[in-house]
Structure 1
Amino acid sequence: MPDGLIHFTPRSELNGHANVSAFIKLCRHAPVLNAHKQFDENIWETEKTRKGKNGVERIVFNTLEAAKGAKHLPALPEPFVSFAKAVIVYLEDKRPVVSQGPRLSALRCLEAALRENARDRRPTAVTPTVLDAAVDLARRNLSDAVAYRVAGALEAIAELMREKRFIRMNTRWVHSVPKPRETGSRIDEASLRARQEKLPSPAAIRGLAGVFLTAMGVADTLISSSATLMMCAPERINEVVRLRRNCIDEGEGRLEGKLGLRWSGSKGAADIVKPIPTKMADIAREAISRLETCSRAAHEIAAWYVHNPRKIYLAKDVEHLRAKKLLTTAEVSQILWGPAGGAAVQWCNKEGIELIKDGRTARVRFSDVERAVLSMLPRSFPYLPGDGPPIRVDEALCVMRKNELHPGRATYECMFDVLEQSDIGSRLGQRNDSGIPSIFAKYGFTEDDGSPIVVNSHAFRHYLETLAEMGGLTDVQIAAFSGRVDVRQNSAYDHMTSDQAQAPIHRATKEHGFMSGLVKAPSRTLINRADFVKLDIGATHTTDYGFCRHDFAAEPCQMHRDCLNCDEEVCVKGEVHKLAALRLRVAETKRALSVAKKALTDHEFGADRWVAHQQKTLMRAEELLALLTNPDTPDGTVITLAAEDQPMPIGHVAPSATTRISSAHQRALK
């Protein structure tokens, strides 16, 4: 079945249950979202990368309660879960979306509403009452903005069910959730609070600086240095974890001596070298240096696997074990965790490795250990996960040995891992309920009121862009500094208060007056009337090359603004911008003459007249250009070229000509 061509037509002779069964059967074998390979699974992995994230999108068919607790279980029950999977597949085929989140949440709320209304979790039992209950659940469990999107997804699902005759509903169901009010104002209190919540608190910034200065160990150094880089430039967290080891750029040309970092673009933006503010340059260098140092061991392992993807990495002190076919559990422990050791027997049992009894000693095959270790390679190997350009793991800056971030687990000496956004976010306090302590709590930093510091990694980006707005950068400069394609998105990161936005205006008007600095008046040099009369210029009008002294009040222009071929054109030597316009006209006339000559060669009608006109114009333009560029001619000299074959003014037509024209007309009339 070709992707994008799923179409289900309900059969009128079948009831809702039979049509639902046929619908599920159709979608079960569809290639959309790889449904034909994983339809019976309750956790799907798609091939779509999450926009602005590293890693692929996962679809978890769990209940509303499980999703709220960030758990995979319990899963949605049958028969609803099969229907939910089919709906996701069918809607993705008809109307692809970036994220399945709103649709999944809508289906979870719908299943919970069926439970609340004792409807036996059958899709065919959905009614307007159940749909209203699902909307109510969304409003109680989700934020206003998310609930509005989920209600919209519920409306689309309800219309699909009505159209395909899964349920009996005569009219279209429409949700009643109002669109949440935008919080873009700088004035009202609610908007100001919403803006401030997107920024890191002063205590969080001080705490990050303190942790960066005192961090001990690989885990804390990795997290604090990565977060510090987000304070040096407004980067997304997924761009930080995709930094290359050779990311430092010393600058050249006008940026020579200015530190820059090479960032991999995301969300449609290209790769870019961003200059680091001078005040933060030394801090950025130190952060990069620390990341290189603490990831050196992991980088060596990653480089080994890039060049030897089918061989296990062995440290120097256990390299001799590669020649052995059978290993003792002590040797397995040494390969996996080094001198620190670990529970090798439990690890073998977990990995399904056969223990071969040799008297009292248990041995395992080297090949089995190698196979189990190689299965730990990141699924995106040999590249980093993410939606940006491919970056090999041995080029990455943010790598670590497996389990190196977890103090309660033994660190693998033979396997590496890549730093993920969740690794940083959870250690900035975003997942306090997960049991992972934040780096702020670990080093004794709290908010000013004593509460734990919790900061979103994206808050640093909001903070730096707000500083850029306050510093007077233009929208184009801020978008470039942030690696953003659409300049209009800048407004979402501008969190200046009304007073901050008006401060530059107040400061300027207070110091220099209301109109100062707004418009710079051009300087003008005036001459007296007697000198102007000597110039023999009556009425004057500016032209591309000088001034026109034709009196338009007496009659219109007889040359149709062909100024170069007119004897009323006046040029003044020394006007740079008009000299540039004349040079451009010479070049354009040469091109036009070349085209006219080609047309003449091709015997096009009227080409001879164009050749003559362009030759005449080019001759006069070059003559005028020679006079205006002659070093012997002083600046300020007024130059007028004599012109031949000037048209006779309409009001001054000779009587003989009038007579001839009249006679010709008379003969024509006769």
Structure 2
Amino acid sequence: MNNIFIFEPSNKNNPHDNVIKFIQFCKSTISNNNLTTSWGSNKWKGLYRFTKFNSKNNLNSKECLDDSFINFAKAYMLHVHSFNKSKTKHSTLSMLKIVEFVLLKTNMEANVNYCNNSVFDECIRIASEKYSKAHAFAIGKELEKLSSFLNDNRMTNSSYLFWVSPIRYKITQSWTGYDSSLEGHSRMPDIKSVIAIAEIFSKQDEQLSSRDIFTTSVLALLMCAPSRISEILALPADCEITEFDGKGIQRYGLRFFSAKGYEGNIKWIPSLMIPVAKRAISRLKELSSQARLLAAEIQKNYSNSTMGTLKENIPQDFPWYDREKKIEYSNALCLLTEGQLNQKKKRMLDKLFRPTMSYFKTDIIDSDYIKGHFNLFKRHGYINEDGSPYLLRTHQLRHLLNTFAQINGMDEFSIARWSGRKLISQNVSYDHRSHLQMSKAEVRTNSWTFRS
């Protein structure tokens, strides 16, 4: 989506017409967005599913939003997404689903013209009961934005709509183990969450579930070299490489196709982390072995008309797991079979499953969780004083490694290459050193230059 879409409401006081015109306006921009090419589709780019709010489990909800509401929901998501294309808006869609649920309950019709403070009060009450405090807080913020949007564009029957969420929430982090100058950076992980991952990863296979092994192995690789989750999930099974450097020392690395423009790249693993990387790769190979064999069998017999059910389960673009990176399903390190990591779901040994970033993060971020659903930390008893499980965001590990590299004097070119960046200038976004640390680095550099 190249442009921000600005809707101008009609001057006349007709909420119904303004909603209709807003939907028509957004429909007219469908060809200029990167979310979907089909307005009628109820699943956009694998990111957004326009299904109803389910008080038990939203992940299993299959019923589409009401006809009187779904077009507004799609238009609003398209509108919001145009302002920040780089971030998914799951809290926004969660909020819209609850609004539809409450409107149907109170008015028998999911018409946004009926939105008022009472409707929003009920929405936030339901969100607080359903979700963790962090996610309910996020939904409250989205309700505030919707309130302003509806009021500014004259889309409600209320003469004036102004609503403020009653939820106040502050994320606290423990910084024990960090240099105190790093305290306060939201892009740096809570050190106790990093330690928890290390402790879980170090357990024997017999003590871990398949989901535990998958999640901790991917996170372990993210700690071995600065990477994006999409890069790890797209690794080939034969990614390991060993070479001798100019000093005759054997080096171990992983073949990546970086998301920051550097294209094909070998990320060399620090000596201390090599056993960790090897164990993570070995575990992921074991998890994916059956799925990769299935993919190879499908590819070998692709034209065989006797394959029957297998043909029905072939993914789109098969045999390419990632066409751009030339990785086939049969050589995908993180490939699984349907239901393999879900103990409550029947495993389908004849259907391939490609884990996505959204699927992965549900095991480490509590704010996206339905109450009662145990993420990795909660499964292993890592709980904060307020009863919430630890959390971690995958990008935080990338920021952590880059900052440590800066503190310890790695040069800018090496950091960019290690991180898979095309431009050295991109390093600055991941450098969270204090002024004192930067000054010390400059002194070291000047001292070395003087001696030279």
TM-score with structure 2 setting the length: 0.67
1:378 is paired with a residue whose SS is coil
Letter in 1 for 2:47: E
Could you report, residue by residue, the CA deviation over 1:562-597 in whole angstroms, capped at 9, with x for unpaired residues? xxxxxxxxxxxxxxxxxxxxxxxxxxxxxxxxxxxx
Q: Secondary structure at 2:320's aligned position in 1? A: coil
Task: Give the Cα–Cα distance (whole angstroms) in 2 for the partners of residues 176 and 435 of structure 1.
Answer: 29
Report the equivalent of 1:273: 266
Residue 427 of structure 2 corresponds to residue 487 of structure 1: yes
Any conservation in 2 of the 1:24–1:86 contact (CA below 8 Å)?
A: yes
- Measured after TM superposition, the shift of residue 279 of structure 1 is 1.5
- Among 187, 206, 209, the alignment partner of 2:199 is 206
In the TM superposition, 1:205-354 aligns within 5 A as: 205-211=198-204, 222-251=214-243, 254=246, 257-266=250-259, 270-311=263-304
CA offsets per residue over residues 357-390 of structure 1, 9 Å max, x none? xxxxxxxxxxxxx44332223345333369x745
- Alignment partner of 1:37 is 2:9: no
Q: Deviations over 1:74-132 (max 9, x none)?
A: 7654533343334445x3797673434465356457657867987965333456x5798
Secondary structure, counterpart of 1:245 in structure 2: coil
Residue 626 (structure 1) aligns with:
none
Segments of 5+ residues of structure 2 without an aligned counterpart are: none
Is contact 1:66-1:73 (8 Å) kept? no
Residue equivalent to 1:545? none
Q: Return the offset for 1:439.
A: 9.2
Instruction: Please tell me the root mean square deviation across aligned C-alpha atoms, in Å.
Output: 5.6
Instruction: Flag structure 1 segments of 5+ consecutive residues without an equivalent.
Output: 39-43, 48-55, 313-321, 323-369, 509-514, 524-670
Amino acid at match of 1:238: S
Report if the CA contact (8 A) 2:245-2:251 is conserved.
no
Q: Secondary structure at the match of 2:235?
A: coil
User: 1:123 — aligned with what?
Assistant: 112
Counterpart of 1:563 in structure 2 is none
Q: How does 1:149-164 map to 2 (within 5 A)?
A: 151-152=144-145, 154-159=147-152, 161-162=153-154
> Structure 1 476/375 Cα, relative in aligned 2: closer, same or farther at 3 Å?
same
Partner of 2:48: 58
Contact 2:104 2:110 in 1 (8 A): yes
Alpha-carbon separation, structure 1, partners of 2:150 and 2:56 = 20
Give the aligned partner of residue 375 of structure 1: 312
Q: Is structure 2 residue 18 aligned with structure 1 residue 81?
A: no
SS at match of 1:381: coil
Work out whether residues 237 and 457 of structure 1, in 8 Å CA contact, stay in contact via their aligned partners in 2.
no
Displacement after TM superposition at 1:394 (Å) = 1.9
Count of aligned positions:
426
- Do the aligned partners of residues 267 and 101 (structure 1) sit closer, same or farther apart at CA in structure 2, a change above 3 Å counting? farther
Q: Percent identity?
A: 19
SS at match of 1:37: coil
1:191 to 184, 189, 192: 184
1:104 aligns with one of 90, 93, 104:
93
Partner SS for 1:244: coil
Alpha carbons of structure 1 residues 264 and 409: separation in structure 2 relative to 1, 3 Å: same
2:234 partner SS: coil
The equivalences for 1:587-606 within 5 A come to none
**In the aligned structure 2, how far is the partner of 1:156 from the partner of 1:474?**
47
Aligned to 1:418: 354
Distance 1:79 1:20, change over 3 A: same
TM superposition shift of 1:276 = 0.4
Q: 1:241·1:420 contact (CA, 8 Å) conserved in 2?
A: yes
Shift in Å, 1:263: 1.4
**Hey, what's the Cα distance between the residues in 2 that align with 1:94 and 1:449?**
36
Displacement of 1:34: 3.8
Aligned pair in 2 of structure 1 residues 463, 398: CA closer, same or farther (>3 Å)? same
- Whole-Å separation in 1 of the counterparts to 2:449 and 2:357: 53
Provide closer, same or farther for how the CA distance between residues 78 and 439 of structure 1 changes in structure 2, counting only shifts above 3 A: closer
Q: Name the CA shift for 1:211/1:226 in 2 (closer, same or farther; >3 Å).
A: farther
Cα distance between partner residues in 2 of 1:25 and 1:423: 33
Q: Which moved more, 1:201-210 or 1:74-83?
A: 74-83
Residues 81 and 520 from structure 1, CA distance in 2 versus in 1: closer, same or farther, beyond 3 angstroms?
closer
What is aligned with 2:333?
Answer: 397
Give the secondary-structure state (helix, strand or coil) at the position aligned to 2:353. strand
Q: Which residues in structure 2 correspond to 1:473-512 (within 5 Å)?
A: 473-474=410-411, 477-484=414-421, 486-491=426-431, 494=432
What TM-score, normalized to structure 1? 0.49
